[in-house]
Amino acid sequence: MGEIPASEAVIDIGSNSVRLVVFGGPVRAPITIFNEKRLCGLGRREGEDGRLTDQAMDMAFGVLARFKSVLREMGSPPVTVVATAAIREASNGADFIRRVETLGFSPQILTGKEEARYAALGVLSGAPDIVLNSPSARSHLCGDMGGGSLELVRYSDDFENPIAKAGSYPLGPLRLIADYGPLLSDAEKPVAKILKNCDWLTTEKIAELHAVGGAWRALARIHQAVHHYPLQTLHHYVMTRDEVSDICRLIEQQSPESLGQIPGMQRRRIDTLPHAAMVLRLLVEVTKTKSVIISSFGVREGVLYDKLSKQQKIQDPLYAIAEEYARRLAPQPEAGARYFSFLNGLFTDENPAQRRLRRAASMMVDIAALSHPDMRIEQGYGTVLRAPLVGLTHGERVSLAAVIYYRYRAKPGELPARMPSGIIGEEEILWAKRLGLALRFAADLSPKSGACLHDCKFDMRGETLVFILPHAMKTLFSPMVQKRLDLLAEVFGKPLEIRFY
């Protein structure tokens, strides 16, 4: 995609890891251009007063010194440094922060509620429908599992004040091991009691739990591997309540040796993942959550989202990232908007979700134009499957990829075996085929720019698909374009009529 300048950075000093993420691209849907972490184990404290160990502090300080040099090499973008449970709860946490300040950083020690708020805003930034389009945002819960604590947030229906309730609880796996020892059986009853005593968790039904944190993402990756899930994307991966219970119990019941044999298991999490799984299982049981949705966005993205203006926050992040890819990969990015308007008459019965995807697909219609002609199909739909798109479900991502596949394929047929098409149904595939072929027709009739399409229109009101265009465009209407239009009428199942005026 070419150079994406570093615009802002966030350093997260957590209980388990210290991480630097550098962002660039659109402010509403920032792209991660650098992401590095080191497991320093600051949450593994010692002594009765819970001091940070010298070894963990030295390791973390060395990592932060490296991050300082990395940021300098990247042009010294503005950086926000936050510290969470391990630092705020340790008796010598303030001493460590003063040491970090010698590097030129100004760390902010987040309270539990501040950490919860940022995590919830991060989820919201990647899934704005929680508040904007949901019947009730209060049925959504955010849970952020860190090494030292669990932050929980119930959303409100007020876009400007989206947090209804928030709390922080000493339920991170490192904290549980420190407090109750390595046996899950010793920690399960205390964890259940803490969750049951949080009355606001159960005052209203919770439809969805948005799960944040590396431990729960690792659990979801194992679930994907065990079930051979075809799309290797964690953001917005959905598990039902029963699926969560099953995978959590599977992980809880394994020995460390057996855990290491589970597909997708990260070895560095073998000692802490069973505790994280137990907390998730109990949380789902207590709240009777219907499903768990994995969020790759959390505190760091919440820090950035919190700085946006109201106008920026209400922007659709899917459009923001689609526009960015078009700007970097398409010869004439503005053509997408013209193609979208041109096809309005062809998709008169679409629902709002389809219209939104159609707009995004129109923006990305030429994202493979600069690739070798033999590779445009795979490059086009592969980019959609792998791009850091946000604000859409896995099914919507696959539908969007299928649109781009048919946009570049000369002879429409079955989707390729390597496309995770099993995630969507026949109805979605037909819709993608129709839109993909419509975009291919539009791009051939008015290549790249779409400048002359405002004089053309489709009429779908009768039993016939009518295409209307001016006599001046007869020279553009070649046999190849006619073939594309014939194919389009065929997939719509209507006879074709062409009218010149």
Domains recognised in the chain with CATH numbers: 8-109 (3.30.420.40), 112-301 (3.30.420.150), 317-450 (1.10.3210.10)
Strand 150-155 versus strand 140-145 pairing type: antiparallel
* 324, amino acid identity: E
Please say if the pLDDT value at position 230 is more than 90.
yes
Q: What is the mean pLDDT of residues 463-483?
A: 89
165 three-class SS: strand
Question: pLDDT over 70 for what percent of the chain?
Answer: 99
Residue 1 has pLDDT above 70, yes or no: no
Per-residue pLDDT reduced to its tens digit, 329-354: 988 888 899 999 999 999 999 999 99
User: Helix, strand or coil for residue 487?
Assistant: helix
CA distances from 96 to 46, 53, 87, 109 (A): 15, 10, 8, 11
Name the nearest CA neighbour of 6 among 81, 77, 106: 77
Q: Whole-prediction pTM value?
A: 0.92
Place of tokens 């709002």: 352
For the beta carbon of residue 264, count every other beta carbon within 10 angstroms.
14
Residue 98 — very low, low, confident or very high, per pLDDT cuts 50/70/90? very high
Mean pLDDT of 83-87: 91
What integer best gives the mean pLDDT of the chain? 92
